[in-house]
Amino acid sequence: SSLLLMSGVVVTVGLCRRLARRRLRSRPLLFAFLVEMFSTFQICACTNELSLLGNVEPKPHTALTLTYGFTVLHGLSLAGSTCNPCGTLQPMWSGGTSLRMGGLKIAAQFVAAVLARVLMHFIWSLEMAEPHLGALSQGCSSPMQTTEMQAFCIELLFSVVFQLAVLQAESVNPKYRVHLIALLITMLVYAGGNLTGAIFNPALAFSLHADCFYDKFLSYSLVYWLAPCLGKFLILSMF
């Protein structure tokens, strides 16, 4: 049932992106906003559902396999979208994207994060599938299972590794690149998922753990917002 739900999200987003591409080409700002919002919504909604499947046996093989598979699917179906505020900063830094367009895309990403969380919580409240039972009673299910300083360093390191890999993979054939990036993300999740969640995406972090941001905004914003952005700026300054 969870796989059907996530597949339905992917199909729906694909149809919305195609419709926007056909109808809104003459309105570039609205087109950019909606496409980025739809794409980020897909990643946030699917990852919210995947977060419930971490304890499915055999552990952690099932969760890692699903992470790899859906990361490949996102890479193939969401070409042209960054779905990550840190990724949007790169063209803004280099002058390839205007401040207005970059800000619009970042706004779209956080709007999508909120919409995905609201929709998934509504679906979970219906308790139509076993993983959804009691999913809303957890409150702030904190992914941070270490000290704030260690969590900050881990998210910073993972962001640097990920952004560096993305830059180095630009010359790789796209059909192989998506698998390399998916494999890297799966390895990072395996390495640090039990400590910080290995998110390194500010919008996705907010969608997954908004309750924790409400309770401990400063610490969570430092770890899940500042650290990934700092990692991105480190890579941009090096290259």
2-238: what CATH class?
mainly alpha
- Residue 88 CA to residue 170 CA, distance in Å, equals 16
pLDDT, tens digit (0-9, with 9 covering 90-100), for 86-139: 989 888 877 778 889 999 999 999 999 999 999 999 999 988 888 888 788 766
Rounded Cα gap, residues 158 and 187, in angstroms: 10
pLDDT of 139: 67
**For the chain, where are the alpha helices, taking DSSP H only?**
2-23, 28-50, 61-77, 85-94, 99-126, 148-168, 174-192, 202-208, 210-215, 217-221, 227-238
Burial class (CB in 10 A: 0-12, 13-18, 19+), 233: middle
pLDDT in tens, 107-122: 999 999 999 999 999 9
Supply the pTM of this predicted model: 0.94
